[in-house]
Amino acid sequence: MYKNFKKKMSTVNPTMLLRDETVLPTNEVIKKVLGEELFGVYSGLITSFTSELDLEPQWRYYNDGKAWLCKVVYRKKTILWLSLWQDCIKTSFYFTEKTLPGIMNLDIHPSIKEQTGNAAHIGKLIPLILDISRSEQLNNLKKIIQYKKESK
């Protein structure tokens, strides 16, 4: 009974990982904090970023959020932000009113479109946040990345 309760609680309030500024986010550290299964998803994601999508992941510690975040760039353009959580890998994109309609035209899961359409604006930006926990979710992510790379 308590195992299920704890599991449910952790999904309600997931914990952000990589909070220690002195511990660099190496593959060994990331594997240890994510666990074998989620690290496999992370590895596939990073491999896809670098070899397939021509993206460059850049890990950096941010004092304002007191955590390591990965800025993923294409040339000089920020495509997405990546953070590691107890039960998922969060990817955050930011779009404008001008680029938002293109998301709605992509062949991605309808729930992503709905979530993005209902998202509260942050200034002039509209966030699109995906919680990645399975390799099957990478297809939607790749389509959004490709669109973000091509949009101005």
Structural domains in the chain, CATH included, are 2-150 (3.30.1460)
Over 60: is that where the pLDDT of 5 sits? no
Q: How far apart are CA 104 and CA 45, in angstroms?
A: 23
80 and 148 in contact (C-beta within 8 Å)?
A: yes
What residues form DSSP beta bridges with 81?
Answer: 71, 92
Over 50: is that where the pLDDT of 8 sits? no
Helices (H) and strands (E) in the chain, counts: 6, 5
pTM score over 0.85? yes
85 and 16 in contact (C-beta within 8 Å)?
A: yes
Per-residue model confidence as pLDDT tens digits over 70-123: 999 999 999 999 999 999 999 999 999 999 999 999 999 999 999 999 999 999
Q: How confident is the model at residue 12 (pLDDT cuts 50, 70, 90)?
A: low
Per-residue model confidence as pLDDT tens digits over 50-60: 999 999 999 99
* Residue whose tokens read 């389509």: 143
Among the listed ranges 1-10, 55-64, 106-115, 141-150, which one has the minimum average pLDDT value? 1-10
